[in-house]
Copies of this chain bind each other. A is one copy, B any other.
Amino acid sequence: MNSPETLLRDKKLRVTQVRLDALKAFMDAGFAISIFDLMDRLENNYDEATLYRTINSFSDKDIIHTVPADGKTAYYALNNGNTNVTTADIPAHAHLKCRDCGHTYCLKNIKFGDIETEGNFKAEFIDIVIYGSCEVCCTKSEEK
């Protein structure tokens, strides 16, 4: 995996402190984080506008992607191969929103069966949000 600095150069983004720190935070998070989570994870007090611009540039360069969940938006690090397909070869992307801890994870290596409908529409991309309990919270509640 690329280091934050290498990745920025590859994506033709200037290497600055905000970008290095933010990218590292996204990489470390392991789940989708909001801009406020991001601020909390950064040592320096960067300007909010700067962080939004940072997020936008990352998003434009497909370094991170936006996760829709519950109306609130959050962000996730590297788009590293977490696009899945249905058996009908329709590309899909899935997220898990844990109702216990509130974290949103990108799901990898998901497979799902065909979608059957009565309508006559054409599917090009499928976005899936699963609400439930994540692995960590499942394990915790089993221990009780």
Name A's B-contacting residues (CB within 8 A).
66, 68, 71, 73, 87, 96, 98-99, 107-135, 138-139
Chain B residues near A131 (CB-CB < 8 A): 123-127
Do A120 and B132 form a contact, CB below 8 Å, given A71-B68, A112-B112? no
Q: Which residues of B contact A125 (CB under 8 A)?
A: 130-132
Oligomeric state, in number of copies? 2
B128 and A132 contacting across the interface, CB-CB below 8 Å:
no
> Which listed residue (B66, B111, B123, B135) contacts A71, Cβ 8 A?
B66
Query: Which of the residues B99, B107, B109, B116 comes within 8 Å of A112, measured between beta carbons?
Result: B116
Known contacts A111-B115, A115-B111, A117-B107, A130 near B123 by CB under 8 Å:
yes
